[in-house]
Amino acid sequence: MTQKRIVSQTSYVDPSKAGQTQAAGTREVYRGTLEAQWTCSSCGRTGIPGRVKRCPGCGNPKDAGETYEAPTGKAVYLTPDELKAMGVDPTQHLSDEECDYCGAKLQPGTQKCPNCGAALGDVGYTTRVCPACGRESNAEQCPACGAATEEKLVAHREATPPPAKQPPAQFRQLPSFLQKPLVLIPILLVVGMICFCVISGIIAAIPRTETATVKEIAWERTIAIQEYQYNQHGDWTLPTGADLVSQEERVASYNQVQVGTRQECGYEESCTTESVYDHTERTCYDDGTCDEHDVYRDEQSCTDEYVCEDVPVYESVPVYRTWYVYNIWEWVDVQPAVARGTDADMHWPETRLQENQVEGARSESCVVTFINDKGETFTYQPPCAELSRYRRGSRWQIKRNLNEILEVQPQK
Q: By mean pLDDT, which of 30-44, 85-99, 234-248, 309-323 is the weakest?
A: 85-99
Q: Is the pLDDT of residue 66 over 70?
A: yes
- Please tell me whether residue 270 adopts helix, strand or coil conformation: strand
The DSSP H or E segment spanning 106 is strand 105-106
**Nearest 5°: CA angle at 302, between 300 and 305?**
160
Q: Does residue 108 contact residue 117 with C-beta atoms inside 8 Å?
A: no
Helix, coil or strand: residue 172: coil
CA-nearest of 64, 126, 141 to 89 is 126
CB 60 within 8 A of CB 73: no
Averaged pLDDT for residues 282-307: 89
State residue 295's pLDDT score: 92
- The more confident residue out of 26 and 340 is 340
Residue 148 pLDDT greater than 80, yes or no:
yes
d(Cα 15, Cα 29) in Å, to the nearest integer?
17
Task: Report how far residue 104's alpha carbon sits from residue 106's, in angstroms, rounded to the nearest whole number.
Answer: 6
**Residue pair 291/30 in contact by the 8 Å Cβ criterion:** yes
Region 87-102: mean pLDDT is 75
CB-count burial class (<10 Å; 0-12, 13-18, 19+) for 216 = middle
Mean pLDDT of 339-347: 94
Helix, strand or coil, per DSSP, at residue 167: coil
Q: What is the pLDDT of residues 188-222, one digit of tens each?
A: 888 888 877 777 667 656 788 999 999 999 999 99
The strand pair at 21-22 and 243-285 is best described as antiparallel
| Residue 174, pLDDT score | 52
Q: Residue 171's pLDDT band (boundaries 50, 70, 90)? A: very low
C-alpha distances in Å from residue 311, one per residue of 91, 188, 258: 61, 54, 10
pLDDT(167) > 70: no
pLDDT confidence band for 181 (50 / 70 / 90): low
Q: Among 207, 204, 202, which residue's Cα sits nearest to residue 400?
A: 207
Q: Determine contact, residues 399/406, Cβ cutoff 8 Å.
A: yes
| Mean pLDDT along residues 236-257 | 96
Picking from 221, 186, 225, the residue whose alpha carbon sits closest to that of residue 345 is 221
- What contacts 243, CB < 8 A, 6 or more positions away? 326, 327, 328
Closest by CA to 366, choosing from 224, 212, 222, 208, is 222
Euclidean distance between the first and final Cα of the chain, in Å? 89
> Mean pLDDT, the chain, as a whole number?
84
Q: Looking at this protein, which amino acid is placed at residue 237?
A: T
As a whole-number percent, the residues of the chain with pLDDT over 70 amount to 87
Instruction: Please give the backbone phi and psi of residue 118, each rounded to the nearest 5 degrees, phi first.
Output: -70, 145
pTM for the complete prediction?
0.41
Split at pLDDT 50, 70, 90, the class of 168 is low
* Confidence band for 109, pLDDT divided at 50, 70 and 90: low
Q: For residue 392, which of 364, 367, 366, 370 has the smallest C-alpha distance?
A: 370
Residue 122 pLDDT more than 70? no
Please report which confidence band the pLDDT of residue 155 belongs to, taking 50, 70 and 90 as the band edges: very low
Q: How far is CA 273 from CA 276, 279, 298, 302, in A?
A: 10, 19, 7, 9
pLDDT (0 to 100) of residue 135: 77
Burial per residue of 294-312, b for 16 or more beta-carbon CB atoms within 10 angstroms, e otherwise: bebeeeeeeeeeeeeeeee
Residue-wise pLDDT tens digits, 314-334: 999 999 999 999 999 999 999
- 175 — pLDDT class (breaks 50, 70, 90): low
Tell me which H or E stretch contains 200. helix 181-205
pLDDT of amino acid 161:
42
Q: What would the DSSP string read from start to end of 40-98?
A: -TTT----EETT--B-TTT-PBP-TTS--BPPSSS-PPPPHHHHHHTT--TTT-BPPEE
Share of the chain above pLDDT 90, in %: 41
Greatest Cα pair distance in the chain: 137
> Within 287-390, where are the H helices?
none
